[in-house]
Amino acid sequence: MQGTAKTAIMPAATTTVTWDQLHRDARVLAGLLVPRGPFRGIVAVTRGGLVPAAIVARELDCRLVETISIATYAGEAGTRGEPIVLKTPDAAGDGSGFLIVDDLVDSGVTARLVRGLLPRAHFACLYAKPAGLPATGSYVTQVPQDTWILFPWDTAPVFVPPLARR
């Protein structure tokens, strides 16, 4: 499909993932992946997969971390466009012996694109929505399709006054 058509995402629910939860989930993912290793390297899907990939790399004692940069969302309104590969993971070749790590598989568009470029790699993510499950090899938690996940890098702690002061 050609063009620049974009669709707005209207989530029915929003959930916030804290830094602590993200770290715990990344360690759980690493534990699921230990039997599949050792891996020659990891490919982090940027930007969301960078932090989970760093944690997984540490837990799997894997030093080679490569990135693939793909842009699919435009702006803060959550509009989705055609995926654009901004940087390829040259060190990963066809993906043989590599692990791909992302934070979330939503529609599966990005995951299918990455898997097409690295067909021999194993794809893992922290959170998976039903539409993206077929493109996922390993994941920690399945979330409803209509849930928007706010990751810790998308939020900031702010002071909230006590209810009695409002």
Residues with catalytic function: 102-103, 106
Question: 97 near 40, Cβ under 8 Å?
Answer: yes
Q: What 3-state class would DSSP assign to 159?
A: coil
Closest CA to 131 of 105, 102, 103: 105
Supply the DSSP string of 19-60, one letter for each residue.
HHHHHHHHHHHHHHHGGG---SEEEEEETTTHHHHHHHHHHT
Q: For 82, list phi and psi in degrees, rounded to 5.
A: -70, 140
Closest CA to 68 of 137, 25, 118, 124: 118
How far, CA to CA in Å, does 14 sit from each of 28, 73, 105, 141, 159? 23, 17, 16, 15, 20
